[in-house]
Structure 1
Amino acid sequence: MSLVELSRHMHGVEAEIIRGRLEAAGIGAVCFDSNVNIVEGAGIALPARVMVLAEDLDEARAILAEDVSL
């Protein structure tokens, strides 16, 4: 079981929202580096990454492709 990158986001909040969406659909996900960009003045621009198991990648991509607009 290995983790693969599903998506990258410049705001950790976006990554956490996606993680929540995936978990609501039954797909485990974790966020890497979601708190790095909150260090003011650090000059760091690391994107937050949403990671899923390799076997869940296709299903996770399909969930993100769904229209969830209200």
Structure 2
Amino acid sequence: MSLVELGRYDRNLANILVGRLESEGIPAIAFDQGASIADGSWLLIPVRVMIDEDDLDEARRIVGAA
């Protein structure tokens, strides 16, 4: 298992995408969202959505259709 970055999004969208991917059976995690809150710059620091490399093509399809 190797994590890869699906994309960088604002904090709210990143969490929505994580939920959407997980509802389709693709485990996902949002990295860096705690850092952006701690700095007080949550609108400026993008949150990375990370998934397993094997799920990348399917995740891109799901995100593209959303």
Q: TM-score, normalised by structure 2?
A: 0.84
Aligned twin of 1:65: 64
Higher helix content, 1 or 2: 2
C-alpha offsets along residues 17-46 of structure 1, whole Å, 9 cap, x if unaligned? 000000000100011001222232x6xx43
Distance 1:28 1:55 in 2: 11
* Matched residue, 2:54: 55
% identical equivalent positions = 48
* Contact in 2 for aligned 1:12/1:35 (Cα 8 Å): no
Cα deviation for residue 47 of structure 1 reads 1.5
Distance 1:6 1:13 in 2: 15
> Quick one: which amino acid aligns to residue 7 of structure 1?
G
SS at 1:31's partner residue? strand
Distance 2:12 2:34 in 1: 9
SS at the partner of 2:33?
coil
> Which is greater in Rg?
1
Aligned length: 63
Matched, 1:7 2:10: no
Q: Which has the higher contact order (CA 8 A, sep 6+)?
A: 2
